[in-house]
Amino acid sequence: MKLQDKVAIVTGAASGMGKEIAKLYAKEGAKVVAADLNLEGVETVVKEITENNGVAKAVQVNIAEQDDIDNMIDTAINEHGTLDILVNNAGIMDGFEPVGDVLDERWDLIFDVNTKGVMRSMRKAIPIFLDKESGVIINTASTGGFNGAHAGAAYGASKHAVIGMTKNTGYMYAQKGIRCNAIAPGGVATNIASSMESVSQYGMERTKPVHSVMPRAGEPDEIAKVALFLASDDSSFVNGTVVTADGGWTAAF
Ligand SMILES: NC(=O)c1ccc[n+]([C@@H]2O[C@H](COP(=O)([O-])OP(=O)(O)OC[C@H]3O[C@@H](n4cnc5c(N)ncnc54)[C@H](O)[C@@H]3O)[C@@H](O)[C@H]2O)c1
Q: Are 135 and 77 in contact (CB under 8 A)?
A: no
Take atom 7 of ligand 1 and give the residue whose Cα is closest.
Answer: 142
202: annotated active-site residue: no
Ligand 1 atom closest to the Cα of residue 143 is 6
Other CB atoms within 10 Å distance of the CB of residue 45: 25
| Res 150: pLDDT | 94
Take atom 2 of ligand 1 and give the residue whose Cα is closest.
Answer: 188
Nearest residue to 24 (alpha-carbon basis) of 230, 202, 250: 230
**Tens-digit pLDDT profile for residues 158-177:** 999 999 999 999 999 999 99
Say if ligand 1 is within 6 A of residue 218 CB. no
Say how many CA atoms lie within 13 Å of 9 toward its Cβ: 35
Once rounded to an integer, what is the mean pLDDT over residues 186-207?
Answer: 94
CA 92 / ligand 1 centre spacing (Å): 5
Residue 139 confidence (pLDDT) above 90: yes
> To test the ligand 1 pocket, which listed residue (9, 11, 15, 39) has its Cβ within 8 A of the most ligand atoms?
15
- Round the average pLDDT of the chain to a whole number and report it: 98
**Tens-digit pLDDT profile for residues 52-71:** 999 999 999 999 999 999 99
Q: Where are the alpha helices (DSSP H) in the chain?
A: 16-27, 39-51, 66-80, 104-111, 117-132, 153-172, 201-211, 220-231
CA 98 / ligand 1 centre spacing (Å): 21
- Angle at 52 (CA atoms; ends 51, 56), nearest 5 degrees: 75
Residue 195 confidence (pLDDT) above 90: no
Give the separation between CA 222 and CA 8, rounded to whole angstroms: 19
- Residue 10 to residues 56, 164, 214: CA-CA distances in angstroms? 10, 21, 28
**Tens-digit pLDDT profile for residues 6-31:** 999 999 999 999 999 999 999 999 99
Q: Where are the domains of the chain?
A: 7-252
| Res 197: pLDDT | 85
Nearest residue to 35 (alpha-carbon basis) of 3, 94, 93, 79: 79
| Res 32: pLDDT | 98
Q: Angle at which helices 66-80 and 117-132 pack, to 10 degrees?
A: 30
Q: Are 118 and 165 in contact (CB under 8 A)?
A: yes
Once rounded to an integer, what is the mean pLDDT over residues 131-154?
Answer: 98
> To test the ligand 1 pocket, which listed residue (72, 192, 210) has its Cβ within 8 A of the most ligand atoms?
192
Residue 167 exposed, middle or buried by CB count within 10 Å (0-12, 13-18, 19+) = middle
Say if ligand 1 is within 6 A of residue 34 CB. no
Q: Which class is domain 7-252?
A: alpha beta
Give the separation between CA 157 and CA 110, rounded to whole angstroms: 9
> Which SS3 state, helix, strand or coil, does residue 242 take?
strand
| Res 250: pLDDT | 97
Going by DSSP bridges, is the β-strand pair 178-185/55-60 parallel, antiparallel, or unpaired? unpaired
| Res 135: pLDDT | 98
Nearest residue to 246 (alpha-carbon basis) of 186, 205, 180: 186
Give the separation between CA 184 and CA 230, rounded to whole angstroms: 12
CA 158 vs. chain centroid, Å, equals 12
Nearest residue to 166 (alpha-carbon basis) of 228, 236, 110, 86: 86
| Res 148: pLDDT | 96
Q: Are 151 and 200 in contact (CB under 8 A)?
A: no
CA 91 / ligand 1 centre spacing (Å): 4
